[in-house]
Structure 1
């Protein structure tokens, strides 16, 4: 089955790759948001993931701790992850985003979730109020957070639907959602994104059909 092959071959979430043990708690949710900021740039996903790991190692694991780091410490961490084209602007962005989260939500994204009141579209909009998170970043966050926030399911955005098209699967979010258990939806979305980004992988999965 195409879906099982895709999950087995490339169904690892980006949060997992970045070392984030995602659960409904302030620190991992914030770390996912940082990862979404990094993945939003026009830079390879593996570099964004490496940069996220370096930021977390430098102490940027919560909004409070991010604010406690210096701009230069964030620049240096991004540099160690080879996130060099956007290191200075992203260091500023992360500091500004952390301050907004502290001021508006007490540093806890679960309060943003509560403010969205179960409406995925409202959550998407609230996410874009955070510096560095545009529609693309909000999609990245929602794709991954659906693993722990059920009301976001199913979240299959344009990039995931492009992967579905590559594998000749339905390009309808509800139909895609019916192909996997709820607890596998984030992994399935990640797999479809990886298919979109890797033409060789898409060809291998198609040829195995």
Structure 2
């Protein structure tokens, strides 16, 4: 699925990009973790991040359900657009409410990598596959 797609391939510099890069990679991992072709997930990521500029938890949480569904459809992510839209909004809102809107905040609240991964998987729509995709590259920066 998302095996070939890397943060670097999306233009995300996890080492020097700070929080912005971590969130963009989390968003990409979220999209790629679904049963959908990697090309569609990447295209949808570009629509959300590059075309519409929804590249922070605050900007993503500020979208209406309809706007997100339209962006997902624009990227070709039509099969799960309704549930994915809801989950993306919830992800962004929870990051804001519980971790100050940052992946780093979730890291700081975690006792270790295992705890962080459990927190990550507590988000609706993030299962072991999505966590694995995210951690494959983000772990080097976070731990």
TM-score greater than 0.5 by the shorter chain: yes
Aligned length: 139
Q: Note the 1:26-175 alignment, pairs <5 A.
A: 26-56=19-49, 57-117=51-111, 119-149=112-142, 151=143
**Higher RCO by CA contacts (8 Å cutoff, separation 6 or greater):** 2
User: What's the CA shift for 1:43?
Assistant: 0.7
Q: Distance in 1 between matches of 2:71 and 2:12?
A: 17
Moved over 4 A (4+): none
- Is the CA contact 1:39–1:48 (under 8 Å) kept in the aligned structure 2? yes
SS at match of 1:122: helix
2:6 to 6, 14, 19: 14
Structure index of larger Rg: 1
User: What's the CA shift for 1:14?
Assistant: 2.2
User: What's the CA shift for 1:25?
Assistant: 2.0
- CA 142–78 in structure 1, closer or farther in 2 if over 3 Å, else same: same
Query: What residue ranges of structure 1 are gaps of 5+ in the alignment?
Result: 1-10, 152-209
Query: What residue ranges of structure 2 are gaps of 5+ in the alignment?
Result: none
Q: Distance in 2 between matches of 1:33 and 1:99?
A: 14
Q: Distance in 2 between matches of 1:45 and 1:13?
A: 7
